[in-house]
């Protein structure tokens, strides 16, 4: 039997090791991400132009490219930043469902509705995530880690098993797909809710004592 590496809650939702930013650099990065979100909120993907982001955030264009090599890198990082902020909001008011599946479904629908309030921003971020190639893997990984952390918090789970992490990945994929179909006008909010609640029932199958 192959060895199974135990994954702990501490391994999820944390940023990979990277050179620490100085306080000034971090403030500059925050300005860039806020400028990206503001421009996307106004006009979607096409409204986010690197030169305008640089001007809005008051950084040199060359400096912007050192932080984010392309618009795709920037918008995927913007999505991670938005999810991180959303995670903080969700922690202040945790879901109240009786089961883990109910809590995760509630959490993801709250996240969905937050994105629904900013449809241009949501569309820009999701398009960037869809267009991302291997060069954007670190940023895409952070979006996935943040989403996983949100789901695990809703499950109130510290040390997920491989089976539970597999269920979480399927839930993430479904949530992302539901967001895309809603943004493209191919699914109603009611249908999104049904799909999210259906896939979250996978959590019940990972509970101890449930047979495969």
Spatial distance between the Cα atoms of 86 and 73, rounded to a whole number of angstroms: 20
> pLDDT > 90: what percent of the chain?
79
What's the pLDDT at 205?
85
| pTM, full prediction | 0.86
What's the pLDDT at 101?
95
Instruction: Give residue 85's domain range.
Output: 71-205
pLDDT tens-digit profile of 95-106? 988 899 999 999
- Residue 210 lies inside a defined structural domain of this protein: no
Spatial distance between the Cα atoms of 202 and 82, rounded to a whole number of angstroms: 26
- Residue 4 lies inside a defined structural domain of this protein: no
- Residue 201 lies inside a defined structural domain of this protein: yes
Long-range contacts of 131-136 (CB under 8 A, 24+ apart): 131/72, 132/72, 132/76, 133/72, 135/69, 135/70, 135/73, 136/70, 136/72, 136/73, 136/76
- Residue 111 lies inside a defined structural domain of this protein: yes
Q: How many domains does the chain have?
A: 1
- Residue 185 lies inside a defined structural domain of this protein: yes
Spatial distance between the Cα atoms of 80 and 142, rounded to a whole number of angstroms: 6
- Residue 78 lies inside a defined structural domain of this protein: yes
Spatial distance between the Cα atoms of 203 and 135, rounded to a whole number of angstroms: 33
In this model, does residue 5 exceed pLDDT 90?
no
CA distances from 147 to 2, 87, 143, 170 (A): 28, 9, 6, 12
The enclosing domain of 129 has a CATH number of 1.10.357.10
- Residue 136 lies inside a defined structural domain of this protein: yes
- Residue 86 lies inside a defined structural domain of this protein: yes
Crossing angle (nearest 10°) for helices 162-183 and 137-155: 110
pLDDT tens-digit profile of 136-151? 999 999 999 999 999 9
Residues 6+ apart with CB under 8 A from 144: 172
């Amino acid at each position: 039997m192959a060895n199974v590496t135990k994954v702990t809650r501490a391994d999820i939702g944390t940023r990979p090791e990277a050179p620490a930013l100085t306080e000034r650099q971090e403030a500059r990065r925050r300005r860039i991400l806020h400028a990206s979100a503001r421009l996307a909120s106004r006009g979607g993907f096409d409204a986010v132009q690197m030169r305008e982001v640089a001007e809005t955030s008051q950084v040199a264009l060359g400096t912007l490219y050192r932080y984010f090599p392309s618009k795709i890198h920037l918008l995927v990082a913007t999505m991670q930043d938005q999810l991180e902020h959303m995670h903080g909001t969700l922690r202040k008011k945790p879901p109240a469902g009786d089961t883990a599946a109910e809590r995760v479904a509630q959490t993801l629908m709250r996240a969905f509705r937050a994105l629904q309030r900013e449809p241009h921003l949501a569309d820009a971020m999701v398009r960037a995530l869809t267009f991302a190639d291997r060069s954007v893997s670190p940023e895409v990984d952070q979006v996935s880690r943040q989403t996983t952390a949100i789901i695990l918090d809703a499950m109130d789970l510290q040390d997920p098993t491989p089976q539970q992490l597999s269920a979480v990945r399927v839930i993430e994929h479904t949530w992302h797909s539901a967001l895309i179909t809603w943004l493209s006008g191919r699914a109603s909010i009611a249908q999104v809710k049904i799909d999210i609640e259906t896939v979250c029932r996978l959590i019940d199958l990972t509970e101890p004592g449930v047979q495969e």
